Structure 1
Amino acid sequence: MSGSSGVMAPPQPAQRMPSPYSLPLHALRLAGKCALPLILWFSCGEFLRWGLLYLATEISHGDYRQARLVATVTLMTCIVLLSMVITAGTFHALRGAMWEHKARMEAGEEDERFWSVLNRVAPTFAVIYLAWSFHVTDVAAFRDMDRFHNLDDNFWVPILTNVANNNDAEETTLARGLMDLDWRLSLIASGVAFGLRFLFSKLVERGGNKYAGVGMAFAEFAFMFCGLNAVLILSRLRGGWTEHRAVVAGAKDQLEQAKSTIPGWETVSDSLATVWPYVIEALMTPFAWLALAILAYGGAVDDARRAFRGSRIEAGLQRLEGSHALTQRSANRVIGGFQDRWVPVLNAWRVTNRGGLPLFGMVCLLYVGLRVGADYGDRAVRTLIGSDVEFMWLVVSYPVTFVKGLLLTSLSFCVLAAAYDIAATRARMRGEDLSA
């Protein structure tokens, strides 16, 4: 027998280059390994979100209405902020089962804590979330809960009261908690939120403050809600005046003339109006969410030069960066909306392209397929359960919706995380820098 103190471990087999077509299996692998944290994050998020929505619908009605509406807007800001926290937490929970994370740990990198991840991604996360109108889902949830929860007091009671009073109108406040805030208060709150946003943005640029990123995201959301409320009220007050201005009236006349004189104008415009939302939902929205995943895993998606690298636009951006500060500020005001909305998507597409063009198609196919499958599955389950009992679905519908949301959200996040993992692993094994 040898006197050696141990046996040499056999060499570990080298990792094979992952195929883009392995995305479904890799996503299921992530879902299986991280099932418990995925369930916990989603369940915790739904519980807290429901509680905040319920509180907002309770606060938005009653005496001292303007003060109540300020509190309602604050709670809605917290709800959107909670969506950001849950999204970042879900992506962060998947990192332990990802190949790229293991490779980073073997290379000596330290595991980033969740709060550090959240604080780092929050500013850009808020911009993407608002630019792609993901907050509309939260606003719709508030409206639906308000209508369902306060239906008797704010819908039927005013109607019956009006009948009893010979139709002397009594206004209802149902589902108007985000629209009735006085425009003066909205402007004041917007100014305060903008000031906080400016302060926190400076702290983010300096670094070192562990609350600055989250604070900037909160200020961004609050500024959006308050500013949008003021704009809607002012637009209603000035709507009649605007419609009769020469420029607006002339533009309407030109559009009507184009419809009647240009052959096929109305057909083409109607077709585009019908198809375009599906194009956005199927091809662009998945990559907006993928941009958020890239943020959570340490990538950058807000660099316009990286998005247009190798094109003529990059040369123009380089000349713009070397121009006068006033010119840069003017250009940012003009292209700011485009940059916030499309640059992260283009960067996400660039990252996916490192994994091969088939990966692009697989991401879109799985993202849409999960939603179609979830809708058909929901219909099948409801048909299978059925009921002859009145109002039973008021009790049964929420568990069904909860399970559907859990499966759809978890699997969608696994697909996005797996897509980034495959692209990053393929780039690393080819010796490429994914952030380049």
Structure 2
Amino acid sequence: MKHFLLCAALLLCLGSCKREDKYPELTNKDIAGVLEQMTQLMIHDVSNPPLAARFYAYSCISGYTVLSLNDSSVVSLKGVFNEFPEISSPPDSGAYSTQLSAILAMTGTAKRMQPSGKKLDVFEQRFLDSCRRLGFPEDVITRSQSYATQVVKQIMGYAKKDRYNRISNYPRYTPTTDEGSWHPTPPAYFAPVEPYFNTVRPFLIDSAEAFKSVPPVPYSSDKNSEFYKLLMANYIDGGSGLTQENREIAAFWDCNPFALKNEGHLMVGLKKISPGAHWVGITGIACQKEKLSFAKTMEIYTIVAAGLTDSFISCWDEKYRSNRIRPETAIRRLIDKKWKPMLQTPPFPEYMSGHSHISATTAAILTYYFGDNYSYTDDVEEPYGLKPRRFTSFNAAAKEAAMSRYWGGIHFMDGIINGVNVGRAIGEHIVGELKTNGIKPI
């Protein structure tokens, strides 16, 4: 009898160990590799900034969920993210790699969500070939893929319920004719981007209006008005007052996926990443610098991507409520018909500054994880011809990103200041949620 019980216990132990990773370790660079491929697709598809953040979020959530289903130390997102469902672990069909499944869940989600997602098939195949060279057995790769596919299906169900798919059914947004309201700007006069993004379900804040800004300074053509003073500041500091350093900072944080350049009779699109992509890149720099574990890196990416999405939802809610005119339009109307800002004006209302907003949110999250006064070199823009910049903290980087919009001539100062204030408040709220749910810094 004792022999029978011992054998039964041994079999139970072997069964419970069936899913443990006994294969080569993947690293945080593998996670970063998926996100970089997603970024390249976003550039190809000209994905707008709020939507790009949403793509990152759900892809990271899929990878993170695989880890949480297989590791009790990884906090489940149920009860942390709004309306996050109970995700069931796929049936036990033999040995698989949790880390490999997590990567494949990321690519699987991105393939289904991004317009050109099928292009990730090539990247995924190359990645799997590299896993084979590392020593992953073919049957383990197959089961890891099957596990990932079943998790992706459930996460896609969660994504479908965030209401983004309803936006295409809303009436086409038409800019108002009010004198102080936003109007499309040259050179392409793009239609407004994501006017209904505030209807999307956020992850960690209660609603789009949960962190409402103070109203912007109202438009006025009176030369003694507060608005005209803001306008003159933009005209001077965004023109003849620009220093070489101002120009370098504005270019470094431009992150405008809609940028165009006239070349003769042609209008050429410039290859640029979105603001969220820049901060996802910064997240990777810190994770790799600290040599963080695969699981911790996935967690930080997931929270950063969710925070970016929430920050965009909040900011876009205010943009289309206040619907304020851009400096370029107002200066040409009231001061100088030939004036051009250094940066190309993005196709959506001015107030508040989106880059200021999302940068402050992300800086608060990264400061929680890595600490204040965290020094790093930001080389995210180097592939796009811009020199790396050194920062002494995430908050210092966020402050510079915010000011870049003023020197670039595309935002008024109150839009920048209040963008930072609201963005920081959202970041601090998210940090509070992390603490409440036992999600700890490194």
Calculate the TM-score normalised by the size of structure 1: 0.29
Q: Decide which structure has greater helix share.
A: 1
Higher relative contact order (CA 8 A, sep 6+): 1
* Higher Cα radius of gyration: 1
